[in-house]
Amino acid sequence: MLEKSHKHVTCENCLSRENSLFGSFCGEKVDNLDSQKSCSYFKKNQPLFIEGSSPRGVYCINDGKVKIFARGEEGKEQIIHLAAAGEVVGFRAMFSGEPYKVSATTLEESNICFIGKSDFLNLVDSNATLRNGIMKELSKELADRATFITNMAQKSVRERLAFSLVMLQDIYKEEMINLSREDMANFVGTATETLIRLLKDFKEEKFIATHARRVEILDREGLLRVAGN
Amino acid sequence: MLEKSHKHVTCENCLSRENSLFGSFCGEKVDNLDSQKSCSYFKKNQPLFIEGSSPRGVYCINDGKVKIFARGEEGKEQIIHLAAAGEVVGFRAMFSGEPYKVSATTLEESNICFIGKSDFLNLVDSNATLRNGIMKELSKELADRATFITNMAQKSVRERLAFSLVMLQDIYKEEMINLSREDMANFVGTATETLIRLLKDFKEEKFIATHARRVEILDREGLLRVAGN
DNA sequence: TTAAAAAAATGACATTGATCATGTGATTAC
DNA sequence: GTAATCACATGATCAATGTCATTTTTTTAA
């Protein structure tokens, strides 16, 4: 596995920056950003921030994956969003002026840069392109969540799992999906046992294959058909 | 019932404006806003915009209520948000640059003002307070939807209905809740029959009373207890 | 390498809540 | 005023899915 802990990252040659909120930055803006950020290595299952605490800044994922989740009453996690390289997480609560309503934890070892609250807010104030990018991002995510809610309310677990697997493939790209069954269940919104049973069904129906915990998508179209999308 | 069709509304003395996104406006800004808006009367169940169409501007509710909903596969509505006087609806899609992913329809007769896309975007560009208000609003709503998703995934219909009734009371204030059983079911995310049965249970347990279709909350605390919040 | 712990998998069972059928009451249109 | 339509309500049924118990496999740590 990639040894992420020794990577040295500058914003200038950060590949993840290209598609990120900071993708429009160039020249001295990049240098400026680089001087404001601090970069650190996160182990698997290490929290970036937790529900109830106050935001201190934003996290820009250079490499790795992060789950954003809320906790229901009995403490059960509901994963709201999975963030991959290039995504900036944690800025929503900074605008709302309230403590975090969700938590963020790494799903694998990750390199993640941090930008302090005031630096970030100054950037937003002084850069219209960044600002528009953020408004666009917030709006898109709002639309995504409307779909999420509708799926949750109207689709069966089987349909939601099929859809989730396709989404997961988009996040994991060429890699195989590598999530614990519990996390997967918390993403789909079901019990772990139910999730495992349905994965088995999908395996028998040749939609997927499993290699230990890793899941390989064999028939994306088929899954989309099951999902009814 | 109030005869809303003949109201004449100016932004200056619009009570709903106070708590709205435009609450910070004063002096010529208000006059300016007033000259840009057009105000119209909407009948009950009249659409403001529908899923798939492109945003032409934003709608500011002076009086009345609006449901924001998505449609699932078989066309079943899922109500994502209920908007009351003072709320501005329809601006999210304007920032995302995509067609509406949701629809908006009045729930009762309403007075609603319209501000065209370019006028609104100019306002946003030139007014930092408005902009911050919008970012705050978007972020808060994002957090609300995380809770919504978690409730959907982890709570029983009974718990969700209890919680929904409390939310509805906050929207209807001193008035009684006046929603069709179908709309209520589409808000809670259940079948109409199930909703009706549970309302009956709550009636027997003295949490609510019904007057024809109207629902009166008798025991808000009790409902919150049932909801587990 | 092996023991211990954690995660995954399977089975049995109970329960929720959706669906379909039907009836009753309220509102609308002519 | 009456028919027709729509919303509300209730009953019966059953599949989907959650829960609890147990076993097997995988991972971790000594």
Cα–Cα distance for residue pair B70/B226, rounded to 1 Å: 27
**Inter-residue long-range contacts of B31-38, CB under 8 Å, 24+ positions, other chains counted:** B33/B115, B33/B123, B34/B10, B36/B115, B36/B116, B36/B119, B37/B11, B37/B113, B37/B114, B37/B115, B38/B113, B38/B114
Q: What pLDDT, on the 0 to 100 scale, is given for residue A1?
A: 37
Amino acid (one-letter) located at A18 = E
All residue ranges of chain A with pLDDT < 70 are 1-8, 229
Contact (Cβ atoms closer than 8 angstroms) between residue A88 and residue A21: yes
Q: What pLDDT, on the 0 to 100 scale, is given for residue A129?
A: 93
Enumerate the residues of chain A whose CB falls inside 8 A of the CB of residue B70: 146-147, 149-150
State the pairing for strand pair B214-217/A208-211. unpaired
Contact (Cβ atoms closer than 8 angstroms) between residue B124 and residue A175: no
- Chain A, residues 163-182, CB within 8 A of chain B, namely none
Q: What Rg do the C-alpha atoms of chain A give, in angstroms? A: 18
B155-227 carries CATH number 3.40.50.10470: no
Q: What pLDDT, on the 0 to 100 scale, is given for residue B5?
A: 53
Q: B227 to chain A: nearest residue by CA?
A: A73
Name which CATH class applies to B4-151. Answer: mainly beta
Angle (CA) B194-B200-B201 rounded to 5° is 90
Domain boundaries, chain B: 4-151, 155-227
Enumerate the residues of chain A whose CB falls inside 8 A of the CB of residue B78: 146, 149-150, 153-154
Nearest residue: Cα versus C1' of D6? B180
With DSSP H G I counted as helix, E B as strand and the rest as coil, what are the percentages for chain A, rounded to 5? 45, 20, 35
Would you say residue B214 has pLDDT above 90? yes
Q: What pLDDT, on the 0 to 100 scale, is given for residue A2?
A: 43
pLDDT in tens, B3-59: 455 566 899 888 889 889 999 898 898 998 999 999 999 999 999 999 999 999 999
Q: What pLDDT, on the 0 to 100 scale, is given for residue B37?
A: 93
Amino acid (one-letter) located at A207 = F
Would you say residue B69 has pLDDT above 90? yes
Q: Which two tokens stand for residue B121?
A: 């975007």
